[in-house]
Structure 1
Amino acid sequence: MFKGNKFGERQSTSADAKRAVLAKFQQRPSADDPDVQARAVERKAIADARDARLAERRVEREAETARQAAEREAALAAEAVRRKEEEAQAVEATRTEALRKLEQKAARDAKYAARKARR
């Protein structure tokens, strides 16, 4: 036959567990303990080093962003110069073509005038 725990046993087990938790909590060193202070100093040094690395990365990212912006501006300026050169070449080609046509027309007109003069 099963004999369950009596209420008194359950109560004493609970009290023992509470005392064990309290004892564990009381064993924790206080804030003025040298080991606790040393760990706090170590944590602060680690946090400072992390902050320095983050700041360095931020500066590197900003420098990279500035470099990319400068490259984009240089590329845009080069593209503008190239377009202007192409436009100038197109204008020059148009002007050359117009002059060539005028010369051809003048030659043709001279040829026709010479033919009329012979008649």
Structure 2
Amino acid sequence: MKNARNNELSDRRAAAAGAKAALLNAYRSAKTTAEPTTMAKRAERMAIAAAREERRLERERVKIAESERLVTEEAEKLEAAAAEAEARDMREKSLIARVIEDEAARKAERDRRYASRKARQA
């Protein structure tokens, strides 16, 4: 005896509609009973998202500060290199000036000796 009842189309449709209504009612009741936990989970997710955003902003601030520090260090290095080059140029110029002065003094001494020798010969 497979199926003792005589199931007509209307009986099957009514049973399907009843099952759908029962499922919908069960869903609604489960939704209303789970409302506090859902709100708590939502609040927790929002807090996590806010913390994540704050960490991201902090990382950006650190990156910006680091890049500014690197730019400042690079500028200081360039200034130091320029000052060193300027000092080197000044040393070279003073050395050249001393060499020229020494050469002029040697020439003047040579000319004086030459004039003195010529004066003695005459």
- Partner secondary structure for residue 83 of structure 1: helix
Identity %: 19
Are the structure 2 counterparts of residues 47 and 17 from structure 1 closer, same or farther at C-alpha, using a change threshold of 3 Å?
Answer: farther
Are the structure 2 counterparts of residues 118 and 77 from structure 1 closer, same or farther at C-alpha, using a change threshold of 3 Å?
Answer: same
Partner AA of 1:21 in structure 2: A
In the superposition, the TM-score normalised over structure 2's length comes to 0.76
May I ask how many residue pairs the two structures share in their alignment?
105
Are the structure 2 counterparts of residues 30 and 54 from structure 1 closer, same or farther at C-alpha, using a change threshold of 3 Å?
Answer: closer
- Whether 1:63 and 2:58 are equivalent positions in the alignment is yes
C-alpha displacement of 1:30: 7.2
C-alpha displacement of 1:38: 2.4
In the superposition, the TM-score normalised over structure 1's length comes to 0.78
| Cα distance in 2 between the residues matched to 1:39 and 1:69 | 45
Which consecutive unaligned segments of at least 5 residues does structure 1 have? 1-11
- Partner secondary structure for residue 63 of structure 1: helix
Are the structure 2 counterparts of residues 106 and 50 from structure 1 closer, same or farther at C-alpha, using a change threshold of 3 Å?
Answer: same
Q: Which runs of 4+ in 1 moved over 6 A?
A: none
The corresponding residue for 1:89 is 84
Are the structure 2 counterparts of residues 113 and 30 from structure 1 closer, same or farther at C-alpha, using a change threshold of 3 Å?
Answer: closer
Question: Which residues in structure 2 correspond to 1:1-119 (within 5 Å)?
Answer: 12-13=8-9, 15-27=10-22, 28-29=25-26, 31=28, 33=29, 35-119=30-114
| Cα distance in 2 between the residues matched to 1:37 and 1:22 | 23
Considering only aligned residues, what root-mean-square deviation do their CA atoms show, in Å? 1.8
